[in-house]
Amino acid sequence: MNIPNQSILYQKTYDYQDTYIKEISKPIEQIEIEEIGRAFFSAVPNWASQLFTLRNKIVQSLGLKVGEEIADRDTYLANCQFEIGDQMGLFKIFDKTENELIIGEDDKHLDFRISLMKDKATNSISITTIVDFHNWMGKGYFIPVRPFHRMIVPIMLNNIVQKISKS
């Protein structure tokens, strides 16, 4: 699916992009963008967290960024306002509006951004991922990551919508 045209990431060209959108039963006007950010960081399935831990062990030896572990993740998330420049493990906050949060990281092999966006017109939440490769290492890195990414992100979006719908 294409990047939503109201996204900060719209109208740019990327080496890779995808978007997943899910309607939510709760009125989107009642949901703050920070709540979506908190739900995102607690929506990762356990098996995916284990894969990410394995990824960190492998890529650290290649000199790639891995991000610091947060000791008390729940307390950190409860207090996080997701301000530009804040860091959550590997993810840095790059931009924030009332309706969208842009997180990601820049590294020597690739840059990536993730848009968490609420859409009032469709009462939905979307997750858009964009990637720009810097070299062959970025392209090679993404080959095994891509199928897992495509599996994990829709699950996370479902978890986000369920979490927010219950709150």
How many domains does the chain divide into? 1
Please indicate, yes or no, if residue 115 is contained in any of the structural domains: yes
Any domain includes 3: no
Range of the domain at 95: 16-166
pLDDT, tens digit, 9 for 90 and up, residues 75-128: 667 677 889 998 887 789 999 999 999 999 999 899 999 999 999 999 999 999
24, pLDDT greater than 70: yes
Q: Is there a domain that residue 80 lies in?
A: yes
This prediction has a pTM of 0.87
- Residue 62 covered by a domain: yes
Long-range contacts of 117-123 (CB under 8 A, 24+ apart): 117/4, 117/6, 117/7, 118/28, 118/31, 118/33, 118/36, 119/4, 119/6, 119/21, 119/28, 120/28, 120/29, 122/21, 122/23, 123/23, 123/24, 123/27, 123/28
Q: Note the pLDDT of residue 52.
A: 66
pLDDT of residue 28: 95
User: 34-65 pLDDT, tens per residue?
Assistant: 999 999 988 887 777 767 666 666 666 666 65
Q: Is residue 6 part of a domain?
A: no
Instruction: Evaluate whether residue 116 is within a structural domain.
Output: yes
In a domain, 9, yes or no: no
